[in-house]
Chain A
């Protein structure tokens, strides 16, 4: 079955149908589950979708999702933000790296429900108008990729690496970027890109 944004209007779409059907009936239950001041922890019925509001790239997105949904799947499958990539889906490759409250994390091991109330920044949220983020530009300038699959994760991780103060030397960059695997082995150029962008990012 096609799974493209445009395909929903063309007929029956299982995902869209389930999300729509569940959303209307469940607001009271899930509103209670998410409530801050509920004294008894209310557990939702695991067979039913849950309402959650994720703040992604500065915008609130209300979703009706299975509790098992990771931030990565919420981004890719529900919000159609496919920049964050699914490599291993087990926290080993870094392709899914996003920033949550300005800290780099692997979105494949983060439950979407657990990310409610936090600021999620993805590769799609970096550029302003027609201007690339300095790290994006540095990856292009330094030819820091071949196939490009790991690149969104590399860039998100690299921005955090610089802001953490861990990009002071090539050795530091290599150590603190080790959570992002590049199977094309563009590592020397990635290090060069991080070095190039670091001063510009640090001066803001």
Chain B
């Protein structure tokens, strides 16, 4: 690990100032000289691997007092960005009213990592692409823009089939983000000019021709909270993976339904483990809205969700697997008792 200066920010202004001060104008966030430290489960790991090379660490843990609310209310939910994954997953009202959120967190990482990792850091975690994480591979457009992509024709079993570009096929590895995007969450961002809100769906950027730009955040900006309108008791997160526990998704689905008198009034479908960014499958949702459930519906929805999927040498199985995950998650959501 390279040397860095360490400082602890005791309030948001101080954090934003310290992070912004060290930022060069043209740096993308992932290359910014100053990086915020919360749980550290991504950052310290990637610093040890020499993938991330900040010269300044700004420890924002002291902001947790103000930024770790878990606040379900009558008209929705607010989650502070520094709430720990484990605390949100274990919260009784989250389990009751937002099972897709509780399960997406509970099925991620390990108990130790969930105790450390925060919600904000979780959505900002970097890809697990082995060519990205191993700096002995020169050609990674995400690490070294313009250098090529070793995964394209390499071992790409874990890579994305949706949202890819000819520059990058790295999978977005998280789980919680699928729950957020499915539920139309808003993300609150705190920066030099105060706070701003944007749809969570706009936070992550597809790789396109700039895989090194992963989010809409600028250096000096921090996620401070997430918010969701309404309650979603009929929602599920289903995750298929190589191990039963403590493993990233090969394919996952976040599904939320509003069913009244047998008719699906609203439907949300998001996919994980198969796309370069948290993925909302709106074509699939369109097939569900206004419909009554029938036995053929899950397959039609699953086919629609993966209509644009494009596999490569080792990861085409994710298309077949992903469809089955969507179909099963949909059946679970329809039949769950709430």
Q: Do B112 and A179 touch (CB < 8 A)?
A: yes
Task: Please name all residues of chain A whose beta carbon is closer than 8 Å to the beta carbon of B109 when the two chains form the complex.
Answer: 179
Of the candidates A41, A90, A113, A161, the one whose C-beta lies within 8 Å of that of B48 is A90
A43 CB contact (under 8 Å) in B5, B45, B245, B246: B5
List residues 4-55 of chain A with CB under 8 A from any CB of chain B.
33-34, 36, 38-47, 50
Q: Is A70 part of the binding interface, using a Cβ–Cβ cutoff of 8 Å?
A: yes
A114 — which chain B residues lie within 8 A by C-beta?
8, 37, 40, 59, 61
- In the complex, whether B115 has a CB less than 8 A from a CB of chain A is yes
Q: Mark A162-204, 1 if CB is under 8 A from B, else 0.
A: 0010100000001111111000000000000000000000000
Is A43's CB under 8 angstroms from B59's CB?
A: no
User: Closest CB of chain A to B328's CB: distance in Å?
Assistant: 19
B15 contact set on A, CB distance < 8 A: 41
| Cα distance A43–B19 in the bound complex, in angstroms | 12
Min CB–CB distance B200 → chain A (angstroms): 26
Beta-carbon contact of A97 and B7 below 8 Å: no
* A126 vs B56: C-alpha distance when bound (angstroms): 36
Inter-chain residue pair count (beta carbon < 8 A): 115
Which A residue's beta carbon lies closest to that of B10? A36
- Chain B proximity of A153: nearest CB distance (Å): 9
A42-72 toward B: CB 8 Å interface, digit per residue (1/0)? 1111110010000000000000001110100
Contact call B116/A178, Cβ cutoff below 8 A: no
Question: A38, A111, A160: which has the most chain B beta carbons within 10 Å?
Answer: A111
Q: Would A104 and B111 be within 8 Å (CB), given that A110-B116, A111-B37 are in contact?
A: yes
Chain A residues positioned under 8 Å from B7 (CB to CB): 33, 41-44
- Is A94's CB under 8 angstroms from B37's CB? no
- B1-31 CB mask vs A (1 if < 8 Å, else 0) is 1011111111000110110000000000000
Which chain B residues in 224-276 approach chain A with CB under 8 Å?
A: 243-246
A136 near B: Cβ within 8 Å?
no
Q: B109-126 CB contact bits vs A (8 Å, 1 = yes)? A: 111110110000000000
> Of A66, A90, A176, which contacts B45 at CB under 8 A?
A90
Q: Which residues in A have their C-beta under 8 angstroms from that of B111?
A: 104, 157, 160-161, 164, 166, 176-179
Contact B3 A46 (CB under 8 A): yes
> Which B residues have a C-beta under 8 Å from some C-beta of A?
1, 3-10, 14-15, 17-18, 37, 40-41, 44-45, 48-49, 55-59, 61, 86, 90, 109-113, 115-116, 243-246
Query: Which 8 pairs of residues, A with B, have the shortest CB-CB distance?
Result: A179-B110, A178-B245, A43-B5, A46-B3, A178-B246, A41-B7, A43-B7, A67-B6
Additional A-B contact list (18), CB under 8 Å, known A43-B5, A94-B112:
A33-B8, A41-B10, A50-B6, A67-B5, A67-B6, A91-B44, A104-B112, A105-B115, A106-B113, A106-B116, A109-B116, A111-B57, A114-B8, A114-B40, A175-B245, A178-B246, A179-B113, A180-B110
Q: Which residues of A contact B (CB under 8 A)?
A: 33-34, 36, 38-47, 50, 66-68, 70, 89-91, 94, 97, 103-106, 109-111, 113-114, 157, 160-161, 164, 166, 174-180
- Could you name 15 residue pairs across A and B whose Cβ atoms are closer than 8 Å? A33-B6, A33-B7, A33-B8, A34-B8, A39-B14, A43-B7, A44-B7, A67-B5, A89-B48, A103-B115, A114-B40, A157-B111, A164-B111, A175-B245, A178-B246
